[in-house]
Amino acid sequence: MLKHWLGLGRKAAGRTLALGFGTGASWSPRGYAAFATEGYARNAVAHRCVRLIAEAVSATPLKTSGEDRASQAALSLINAPNPDQSGAELMDSVQSHLQVAGDSYLHLSGFEAGTPGLYALRPDRVRVMTGLKGWAEGWEYRTASGAHVFQRDRASGRSPVLHLKLFNPTDDQYGLSPMEAAARAVDVHASGGAWAKALLDNAARPSGALVMKTGSEGQGRLTPDQFDRLKSELESLYTGPDNAGRPLLLEGGLDWKPMGHSPAEMDFIQARREAAREIALAFGVPPMLLGLPGDNTYSNYREANQAFYRQTVLPLAKKTAAALNRFLAPWFGSDPKLCVDEDGLPAFTEERAARWAQISGADFLSPDEKRALLGLAPQGGLS
C-alpha cells in the first residue's frame, strides 16, 4: 500500500494545503498460503497460467516401453491411482501444487497389502526431515488430526513419498515456484485493479491541493485549529486507495487545485497489461494464449501453442515420468520405463505428419531404418 505524506508546514500552509503520495511500495507476504490466496485464487492471470500448465501436463499421455508385468502394473497404477481420482485428476493436483508451491508430493500406500494407491499431499503440510548429511530421510505430514512420518528405507531403496520440486538456488530441500518469481507482478496487477476500481467508485478524480483565497476572512491564513482539523480530515477521509478520488467538501475561501496525474496519464491499463505479460513469462505461458494484446512473438495461435508445449509442458511431463520411474522401480522390482507419448499430443499433429512424409520419401532408407527414426519397433528385417 502506498505510504502517504502531507506536505504541511504552518508557515507555508497559510494559503496552501497540499496532499501527495510517496513512492514507497508494500508487497504481499511470501509463502504457500499467500501464493494460493493472492496468486491462484484472486489473480485471473496467475490462475489461468496454473490451469493451462496443469491441465496440459495431466492430459499428456504416458506409455511404457516395457512389456514385462511390472511395467504394465506401474502404468495401470498411474492411470487409476486411487478410488477417488483418475490418473489425469491426480496429475492435475501434482502439477498445480508444483506451480503454486514449487514442491509436489506423491504418497504410495497399500503396496504390501496388494492394494497400491497414489495420493497427492498438500505441500504446506509437509516438512522434509533431513539426516546428518543434509539429505532427505523422511517426510512429516501434518493434518488437523495429527502428524504422520513417512520414512525412507535406504536398504531396499523404497520411499513412500515422491518429492517433485523445481530448482531453487538458495534451498536444498524445497523448490522455487513460478508463483514466487511472478509475485511482484501479481501485486502490481492486483493493486492496479484495486486502485482503478477505487477511482471509479469515487468519480475518478485526481489528487490536488487546497488553496485559501486571498482577501477572504483571515487574510488567507488558517487558524491553528482550522489547520489541524483540515489535516485530520484529509488523512482520515481522503487518503489511501479506498478513498482514491473521493470528492472534497470545500468551505468558504477554499479552492481545489488538481495536482496529481489523471488515470489516463498514470496509464493503469498499460501497467496492468505489462504485469500480466510478466506473470505469463514467469510461468512459461505465451501471452497470446492468455488473450493479452500486443504480443507479436508468434505469427499465429498454433505456433504459440506449439511453443508452449515444447518449452513448458513437455519438459514438465518428461521430468515427472522420469521421477516416477525412479520412485516406482524399487517397489515393482524393475524400471517401469514410463515415457511421454508425444504421438498422442494434438499440438504436434501437423509437425508429426510432415516428419512422417519426409522419412517415408527417403528411398535410401530401409523400412526398419524408417521405423527406427519414427521410434517404432522393427518389422524383423522385412524390406
DSSP 8-state assignment for residue 12? G
DSSP 8-state assignment for residue 155? T
Q: Which pLDDT belongs to residue 32?
A: 86
Cβ(261)–Cβ(268) under 8 Å? Answer: no
Q: Which pLDDT belongs to residue 383?
A: 42
Question: Which residues are within 8 A (CB) of 168 and not within 5 positions of it... i.e. 6 or more apart?
Answer: 102, 174, 175, 176
Dig out the grid coordinates for 382 from the structure.
522385412
Cβ(327)–Cβ(107) under 8 Å? Answer: no
Cβ(281)–Cβ(28) under 8 Å? Answer: no
Buried (b) or exposed (e) across 43-72, using 16+ Cβ within 10 A? bebbebbbebbbbbbbebebbbebeeebbe
Phi/psi of residue 294, nearest 5 degrees: 85, 10
Q: How much is the pTM? A: 0.75
Q: Which pLDDT belongs to residue 99?
A: 96
Q: What is the longest distance spanned by two Cα atoms in the chain?
A: 108
Helix (H, G, I), strand (E, B) or coil at 210: strand
DSSP string, 255-292: EEEE-SPPHHHHTHHHHHHHHHHHHHHHHT--GGGGT-
How far apart CA 34 and CA 38 sit, in angstroms, is 6
How far apart CA 216 and CA 377 sit, in angstroms, is 97
Dig out the grid coordinates for 360 from the structure.
517415408
Q: Which pLDDT belongs to residue 242?
A: 64
DSSP 8-state assignment for residue 52? H
Question: Which residues are within 8 A (CB) of 42 and not within 5 positions of it... i.e. 6 or more apart?
Answer: 190
Q: Which pLDDT belongs to residue 344?
A: 76
Q: What is the mean pLDDT of each run of 10 residues along the chain (383 residues)?
A: 36 41 55 88 94 95 87 94 95 96 95 92 94 89 91 90 95 93 88 71 58 56 73 66 59 62 62 89 92 70 88 95 95 92 77 74 80 74 45
Dig out the grid coordinates for 325 from the structure.
520411474
DSSP string, 348-378: GHHHHHHHHHHHHT-TTS-HHHHHHHTT---
Q: Which pLDDT belongs to residue 241?
A: 59
Q: Which pLDDT belongs to residue 89?
A: 96
